């Protein structure tokens, strides 16, 4: 009896070897960044009690990812193969099978051949371990067990299905199977192959890869140009009167740190698949990169809440959700007050949030703001880092404006 089955430490090792930038960023990078963000927020926030849900969320991210990191390898303990009594049992995620050696065809090929797996369709994957169903470079589907990316792979054909085994020392299994009566040579698409070459049809053109990456600076450039033009045009609407108060608020630093870290993960994934790899990437990779690596960081990273008080009216704009300034004439303002709120427990999050039938909040950071009560019964909450100053300006403006009395 011969066997090659993984234990917990071997599966855990495959998460980091061969070294992979994405995995190193995710584990332990993401828990570490979450923990540092938590410490940063804990030290910088003035009223920690009001941010308890946000802080709990950061701790939840750290704990969940760390727990997943240690528990997921348990699912692959025992993965591999066993050879006994003329039968080869292969254990892989969603692809366990038992093969009769005498009815099996085998071929020992290079790991760079067209029998290499290029797309996992159902299974488990880390930098050093791939198990389950995969699509091969020659277009076939196979049950794959690949550990630590060796130079040789063993391709098996049994009952119309393909199996690929690759691990250090797989040559020993190849000789054992031949000694047990297995037939040498695997029937590939249309002909018998012992060590086929790499078909050029599965190469992703280099120009297409760089074209995808060129989308990032293109989208970023258009986005900043769009923001600049909107700012220049719309600012003319409020530059006609004397400005009594102006405040621009942006996302807190610790949240931007998490955002940049998330973007970095998807950028490294994209570079791996489109620049360093010759294999066709999973179709979701460019979509995820475009959303979470480019658009999402651009929108949130450039978002800001601008509040301007002039004689006769209050203006505010939450870019990029508002292109034009929202105007509240003092004639519509019944009263205002400084308000301390819980951005996560009370409002649910920062951003634009509706509560009740007539209430809407605009917040970007912090837990303070000014609540505006309008004459039509609506309530507007504007987040502010200078709420007392804003409230004082509003009171003075209302007192000096007959229309606002």
Q: What confidence tens digit (pLDDT) does each residue in 333-371 have?
A: 999 999 988 776 665 568 888 877 778 999 998 889 999
- Helix, strand, or coil (residue 235): helix
| Cα 159 to Cα 99: distance, rounded to the nearest angstrom | 9
Domain spanning 304-404: CATH 2.60.40: no
Does residue 83 contact residue 370 with C-beta atoms inside 8 Å? no
Burial degree of 271 (CB within 10 A; 0-12, 13-18, 19+): middle
pTM for this one?
A: 0.56
Does residue 254 contact residue 44 with C-beta atoms inside 8 Å? yes
Does residue 286 contact residue 204 with C-beta atoms inside 8 Å? no
Where are the chain's structural domains?
A: 1-202, 206-236+252-301, 304-404
- Helix, strand, or coil (residue 385): coil
Strand pairing of 359-363 and 379-383?
Answer: parallel
Name the β-bridge partners of 363: 351
The structure tokens listed for 137 are: 């470079």
Per DSSP, helices labelled H in 186-345 are 206-235, 253-271, 284-288, 296-301
| Cα 164 to Cα 142: distance, rounded to the nearest angstrom | 7
> Look-up: residue for tokens 């949240």?
255
The structure tokens listed for 203 are: 């190469």
- Of 170, 174, 179, 159, the closest CA to residue 104 belongs to 159
Q: What is the pLDDT of residue 38?
A: 67
Q: What is the pLDDT of residue 72?
A: 84
Radius of gyration of the chain (CA): 30
Q: Count of CB atoms within 10 A of residue 206's CB? A: 11
The structure tokens listed for 279 are: 């294999």
Q: Which long-range contacts (CB under 8 A, 24 or more apart) does 326-333 make?
A: 328/372, 328/374, 328/380, 329/403, 330/397, 330/398, 330/401, 330/403, 330/404, 331/375, 331/403, 331/404, 332/374, 332/375, 332/376, 333/372, 333/373, 333/374, 333/375, 333/394, 333/398, 333/404
Helix axes 206-235, 253-271, angle to 10 degrees: 150
Q: How far is CA 338 from CA 60, 243, 247, 356, in A?
A: 32, 21, 16, 19
- Helix, strand, or coil (residue 311): coil
Tens digit of each residue's pLDDT, the chain (405 residues): 899 999 999 998 998 888 877 666 666 666 676 677 667 666 665 555 555 556 666 667 667 767 777 888 888 999 999 999 999 999 987 668 999 999 999 999 999 898 999 878 788 888 899 998 888 988 899 999 999 989 999 999 999 899 999 999 999 999 999 999 999 998 765 444 444 443 333 344 555 556 666 676 777 778 778 777 877 776 776 766 788 999 999 888 777 777 887 787 777 777 666 655 544 445 556 777 788 888 888 888 888 999 999 888 899 999 888 878 889 999 999 999 999 887 766 655 688 888 777 789 999 988 899 999 999 999 999 999 999 999 999 998 877 654 443
| Cα 396 to Cα 88: distance, rounded to the nearest angstrom | 86
Query: Any residues with CB less than 8 A from the CB of 122 and at least 6 apart, and which?
Result: 93, 94, 95, 132, 133
pLDDT tens, 135-151?
898 889 999 999 998 99
- Of 401, 333, 400, 345, the closest CA to residue 370 belongs to 333
Q: How far is CA 353 from CA 75, 79, 298, 379, in A?
A: 41, 49, 21, 12
Q: How far is CA 175 from CA 149, 159, 171, 278, in A?
A: 20, 21, 6, 31
Query: Any residues with CB less than 8 A from the CB of 88 and at least 6 apart, and which?
Result: 81, 82, 98, 99, 101, 104, 156, 177
- Helix, strand, or coil (residue 249): strand
3-state helix, strand, coil in the chain (%, to 5): 40, 30, 30
- Helix, strand, or coil (residue 361): strand
């Amino acid at each position: 009896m011969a066997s090659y089955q993984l234990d917990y430490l071997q599966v855990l090792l495959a998460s980091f070897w061969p070294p992979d930038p994405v995995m190193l960023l995710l584990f332990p990078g993401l828990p570490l960044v979450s923990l540092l963000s938590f410490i940063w927020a804990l030290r910088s926030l003035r009223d920690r009690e009001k941010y308890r849900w946000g802080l709990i969320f950061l701790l939840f991210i750290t704990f969940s990812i760390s727990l997943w990191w240690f528990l997921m390898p348990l699912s692959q303990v025992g993965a591999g193969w066993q050879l006994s009594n003329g039968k080869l049992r292969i254990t892989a995620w969603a692809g366990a099978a038992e093969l009769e050696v005498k009815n099996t065809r085998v071929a020992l090929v290079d790991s760079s051949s067209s029998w290499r797996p290029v797309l996992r369709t159902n299974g488990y994957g880390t930098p050093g371990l791939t198990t389950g169903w995969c699509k091969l470079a020659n277009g076939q589907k196979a049950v794959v067990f690949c550990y630590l990316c060796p130079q040789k792979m063993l391709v098996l054909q049994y009952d119309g299905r393909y199996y690929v085994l690759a691990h250090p020392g797989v040559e020993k299994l190849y000789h054992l199977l031949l000694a047990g009566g297995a037939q040498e040579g695997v029937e590939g698409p249309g002909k018998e192959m012992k060590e086929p070459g790499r078909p050029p049809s599965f190469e992703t053109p280099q120009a297409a890869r760089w074209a995808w990456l060129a989308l990032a600076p293109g989208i970023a450039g258009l986005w900043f140009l769009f923001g600049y033009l909107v700012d220049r045009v719309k600012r003319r609407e409020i530059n006609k009167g004397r400005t009594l108060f102006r405040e621009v608020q942006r996302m807190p630093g610790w949240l931007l740190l998490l955002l940049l870290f998330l973007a970095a993960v998807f950028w490294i994934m994209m570079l791996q698949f489109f620049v360093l790899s010759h294999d066709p990437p999973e179709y979701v990779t460019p979509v995820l990169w475009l959303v979470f690596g480019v658009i999402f960081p651009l929108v949130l990273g450039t978002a800001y809440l601008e509040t301007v008080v002039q004689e006769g009216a209050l203006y505010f704009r939450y870019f990029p959700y508002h292109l034009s300034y929202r105007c509240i004439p003092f004639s519509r303002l019944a009263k205002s007050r400084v308000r301390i709120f819980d951005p996560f427990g009370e409002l649910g999050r920062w951003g634009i949030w509706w509560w009740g039938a007539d209430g809407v909040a605009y917040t970007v950071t912090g837990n303070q703001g000014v609540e505006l009560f309008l004459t039509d019964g609506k309530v507007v909450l504007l987040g502010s880092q200078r709420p007392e100053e804003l409230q004082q300006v509003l009171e003075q403006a209302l007192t000096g404006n007959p229309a606002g009395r």
